[in-house]
Amino acid sequence: MGLTIGLVNTYSTLNIGDAAIYSALTALASEAEVVAQFQDSEPDYIPGLQIVPQIRHCDAYISVGGDIFNNAREGLITKAFIRNLLQLRRSPKHTFLFGQSIPRSCHSLSFQALSLCLRQLAAVCVRDTESHQRLTASGIPAILSFDVAFALSVSEQAKEKAKQILHTLAIEPDSAALISLRTFDSMYRHDNQQFQRQLVALSRKCCQQGYQPVLLIQSQAYGADNDLAMAEEIRQQVPQIKIFNPFVVNSDFAKWELVMGALAICRLIVAIRYHTSVLTLASGRVPFNLYYSNKGKDLTKRLQIPGCSLEEFNPDIHFDAIAATSAINFDHEAIRQQVKEDFQNCYSRVIA
């Protein structure tokens, strides 16, 4: 019998960043049967991953990347946070955490509880400098890498399919400015009304400068993590805007492949969502990175890519820098190789 690897601390297949993470981990552990369970009533297709109603005993476990250890209650620990901790304690010596960020909402009591669990694991690998510094200061020998979705590649077929979808929407990739968006909540503090005004101003600026603004729907998951309502509100104020929604497309491609295909061929990318930046960079392009948390800030600082914090963003001031990104390529091979090597380093510790 071959190895069975369980992905734990999963969130949803209906968020394309998370779906990309699950796909990348499944591909990196391809010698094993990789299984996972989700809260989604109808999970989206993840290449190679076996979706099960409940994870039973596995040979090893990977705690998936993302911002899984958000703790929404200041000074207390939420039930969701405790459930995530318990998943790390199934079989700690055969579990590693890969590509995680430790969100700022995880601090004091919740951070102490998390640190206690992480010390028991076979390996811990994080994707941003701030998380790495916090863990190493707590005595956890964490590895600093990058998001696991950097291991993904964009195929020519996915680019072609994305081009067809864009043409159906009367969008020319050569003049398209693809903009991701999100609604903010207690996990990430930013004024939604101010953000909406910023995106309306950006979309109008794109039109003035001869670009077609296109809003990218990157999540239709739970609570605030659903992009469609805000996209429709923005379109009411800027009727010329188009919406690229991979969730309504029937195809043999995973949704992240369609998004990555579009990111690879559109003229400009303005990335508010973290994985818009990651998937753009992994396709060899450079986005304008509008970050709202430590994980996004880390991309701009470590990889020296153009961007600024959402608080500082002014479309009139920053548009020239956004337009300039169309002429820049990104060499993604070294990062892809590092992610693969870091994964193998951790993986070898749980299957030894």
Compute the half-sphere exposure of residue 107: CA atoms within 13 Å on the CB side of its CA. Answer: 8
Highest mean pLDDT among 84-88, 111-115, 217-221: 217-221
pLDDT at 189 > cutoff 70: no
What are the tokens at 52? 């099960």
Q: How far is CA 275 from CA 246, 278, 295, 345, in A?
A: 15, 5, 10, 24
Identity of the amino acid at 315: P
- Poorest-confidence range of 104-108, 131-135, 304-308? 104-108
pLDDT at 197 > cutoff 80: yes
CA nearest neighbour of 145 among 349, 335, 306, 350: 335
What is the percentage of the chain residues whose pLDDT exceeds 90? 86
pLDDT range class, residue 186, cuts 50, 70, 90: low
pLDDT tens digits along 252-293:
999 999 999 999 999 999 999 999 999 999 999 999 999 998
Scored b (16 or more CB within 10 A) or e, 206-243 reads beeeebbbbbbbbbbbeebbbbbebbeebbeebeebbb
- Are 43 and 53 a contacting pair, CB within 8 Å? no
Cβ atoms < 10 Å from Cβ of 81: 22
* The CA-based dihedral angle spanning residues 166, 193, 66, 157, taken in that order and rounded to the nearest 10 degrees: 0
Q: Which residues pair with 88 in a beta bridge?
A: none
- Are 272 and 265 a contacting pair, CB within 8 Å? no
pLDDT range class, residue 187, cuts 50, 70, 90: low
- Poorest-confidence range of 158-167, 169-178, 184-193, 244-253? 184-193
Q: Is 38 left (phi over 0), alpha (psi -120 to 50) or beta?
A: beta
pLDDT range class, residue 74, cuts 50, 70, 90: low
Instruction: Determine the pLDDT at residue 308.
Output: 97
Collapsing DSSP to helix, strand or coil, 15 comes out as: strand
